[in-house]
Amino acid sequence: MSTVTPRGRLLLVEPQFVLRRTVSTMAREMGLADVQEATSPALAEKLLLERRYDALLIAIDEEGEALELLRRLRAGEASHPTDMPVAATAMACDVELALRLKQLDVRRLLLKPFKVRGMLEAISALGAPEPLAQH
């Protein structure tokens, strides 16, 4: 199977290995994005310092680390634009989380369980932007 040249660079933060690997592989093959994988918000923060990404798809964790990373991104405390496109996944969503995600300008939320196709659609909905200049 030939791979399509992806249009933008996406950071996927997902702790579940099989889901993370499946989504990243399929997104690359479909040309949706050049996907870099991270298992946690802590690792994602390190990757954000090392490389430029065009979008972020992050799993919201119970510990609040993902929300804190998004807060720092939106506050300009990360080395990326404060308006970087973001989508998220979560086990559940109450009113408090929904309001928080809206404040953090999360463009799309997928509730688990979902199909891999849902994550691919979320990646596509982030706009599959053209890559930023290399840094």
Single pTM value for the model: 0.88
Q: Nearest to residue 86, comparing CAs of 49, 47, 113, 60? A: 60
76-101 tens-digit pLDDT = 988 889 999 999 999 999 999 999 99
Per-residue model confidence (pLDDT) at position 79:
83
**Token output for 126:** 């982030």
Strands 55-59 and 9-13 turn out to be parallel
42-82 tens-digit pLDDT = 999 999 999 999 999 999 999 999 999 999 999 998 888 99
Q: Spell 6-41 as b/e; 16+ CB within 10 A means b.
A: bbbbbbbbbeeeebbeebbebbbeeebbbbbbbebb
